[in-house]
Structure 1
């Protein structure tokens, strides 16, 4: 069967991921392949680890990517520390809290949950009170919940977990590189990011970092399995269970990313090139300058949506700056509007999950997609399609409000709250 050369349409991607990949990242991916133990390639591995420490704002020794989508990093961290019967507390405020529950249950954890309505976040003191009640080994939580557009504060929870000797493992897939994530200052033990969102790199790697509290458990399990455990090791890995996954075994991956370079798998060479370039661009821009850029364009988008007569979903005081959730007007078929935006304008936005499906749209302003021309494009396409759908909106006012915001004195940009 003869196939035509691959051709894909040009899109303006304004979803919560994947997002548009920076052209400089795409260029880096065309770099020739090196062997995974070539000194030039292992130098690249070391550079990636160094840049990841800066991205995560940590002094942790371990900071490296897991080959696979963001979920691979979540599973690698959880499966490497959970033994059957371990208590895990998961506060749920959206779709991806439920994902954490499923992964933990698959590895035999005794899972405890607490929930708040979608569109809200938790009072940290309520989580801390639950930690004291349950006495878990691990608290696993999402930082930026893309299903609801909310961002959970962690600055009190992390120190409390550290004081109570509880591990805090956090999914920062939607926030890393677009919002402030302070791994060391917030006392986060294990953190999982993603490439396909604010880093503007294709999906296929999950940057992680973890501290010596987690490493101690990982190495103790390895020693128990090998029959060379000390009493302290047995106390940490007292159920004598090996890490069940081979691919996601952090003890083995550490050996691969250490100077020993013990073979574990064949590294995703071109993806590592892409991640290195994506990280370089993040750090070249400056972390706090990048956070400010995301907030700046987010405010332009919100100004336009509200001027159009649309309502923002969720607690705006705890809004995720990289995802804006918009209530679908009554009587309007949200999926029809999305399809028309894609077909007629080449602009893609997202629906949502579970109880919010058909009730909100989700618009991502992430990484390379977070640009003025994209904000204006999504507002114009959304307005045109809502008019075609028969919605009652303020015609023309959305774009004008966004333009007013962008044309405001430069001081407005400089005063963006980072």
Structure 2
């Protein structure tokens, strides 16, 4: 019988747009003893998590809980539960993850309208509002922070326009939650999806979401029809079918997940006990640091990183006026093999940065300063290593200038 070595992952400095390094206190929480999902101590932890998520999302929404699965599970749960077949949906796309929203909406039989912006830029809110008036959708779906391009979309005016017109506004905040403000109520967002593996510094495996009563009303109206179909007699079925079609997914049905996260604790699935511990601890650490203080920390290390890269002689990619604070994109210098640089960074220095997708593949590197990875030693180590690797690849740089520029930023704080 083949013998397998004991698991021994290498220690890495992870500076990608996700996943990122996990706070040691979160890793410790993952090792705690398992409790039954209906143990009063465990349900108290569930209640703590919901309360802390409301603070994180800056909302008074009743519904704020995690969907078990990666960030995409949260996106699918929200879209599957809110979009009825035939609903018109408007999706402004300015990167890869706008295309993901399009694909999921199409799979749940929405009538999809979209507008596109050149990658590396975002929409002027008036462009989106004009499209809303033209298309008259039931829902607008939008990405807050596009990690594929390192850009961040202003949302406030778009949300207010949707609210005035009675249109549901759904936002993918997977990359931004916990790193920059996500003001759910102030921006009139009806449903928001977050992620754990980025600025929250929790392993991938849960998708925090929140939604308001406007979204819940649509979810619960479909739930009523679904329950009616399950209990109807043969003679009643033709009359029930089907003004509001049933939700196709069982696992991603927010109506059933609501019941599970309500005081009734109606069984839907076996909760991911250890991941709930990790999320609760991650949220506790976020709120202990303070949201405003945490956002300022992310801005500080972004500033040091950007100063270092530019002083080194590298060119940043994209419109600086809409830069995503937690992701910095660099144009790969002409004549430099981007994948060879990434490989040397990883295998010689133990540092991981990311490439990109689609039309940007092989053209930019993406560096994440997120969560626990977002700290001074990581930024300085990356700048020194990147300079060394680029010089080994023949790049002409301002030797030593990058680290000094970053240190200047830190000296000012």
Give the TM-score taking structure 1 as reference length: 0.95
Offset, 1:407: 1.7
2:389 is aligned with 1:385:
yes
Offset at 1:404?
1.6
**Corresponding residue for 1:416?**
none
SS in structure 2 at match of 1:227? helix
Matches within 5 A, 1:40-51: 40-51=41-52
Assess if the C-alpha contact under 8 Å between 1:294 and 1:365 holds in 2: yes
- What residue in structure 2 maps to residue 286 of structure 1? 290
Aligned to 2:238: none
| 2:76 equivalent to 1:75 | yes
> Which residue is equivalent to 1:312?
316
Q: Is the 8 A contact 1:17 1:196 kept in 2?
A: yes
Partner of 1:254: 258
What residue is the counterpart of 2:235 in the other structure? Answer: none
Report 1:18-37 matches (<5 A).
Answer: 18-37=19-38
Q: Which residue in the other structure is 1:367 paired with?
A: 371
Any idea what SS the aligned residue of 2:66 has? strand
SS of equivalent residue, structure 1 residue 44: helix
Deviation at 1:291, TM superposition (A): 0.2
What is residue 349 of structure 1 aligned with on the other side? Answer: 353
**Does the residue aligned with 2:316 lie in a helix, a strand or coil?**
coil
User: Which residues of 2 match residues 5-20 of structure 1 at below 5 A?
Assistant: 5-20=6-21
Residue of structure 2 equivalent to 1:337: 341
1:84 equivalent in alignment to 2:85:
yes
State whether residues 16 and 365 of structure 1, in contact with CA within 8 Å, keep that contact through their aligned partners in structure 2: yes
Following superposition, the deviation at residue 239 of structure 1 comes to: 3.0
Whether contact under 8 Å (1:83, 1:239) holds in the other structure is no
1:227 counterpart = 2:228: yes
Q: Given that residues 195 and 203 in structure 1 are in contact (C-alpha distance below 8 angstroms), is that contact kept between their aligned partners in structure 2? A: yes
After TM superposition, give the deviation of residue 60 of structure 1 in Å.
0.1
Note the residue ranges of structure 2 that are not aligned, 5 or more in a row: 231-240
Specify the alignment match of 1:144 in structure 2.
145
**Which of 324, 330, 342 lines up with 2:328 in the alignment?**
324
Structure 1: any 5+ residue segments left out of the alignment? 230-236, 411-418
Deviations 1:75-117 (A, max 9, x none): 0000001111110000000000000000000000010010010
**What is the match of residue 414 of structure 1?**
none
Deviation at 1:227, TM superposition (A): 2.3
RMSD value over aligned CA atoms? 1.1
> Does residue 121 of structure 1 match 2:125?
no
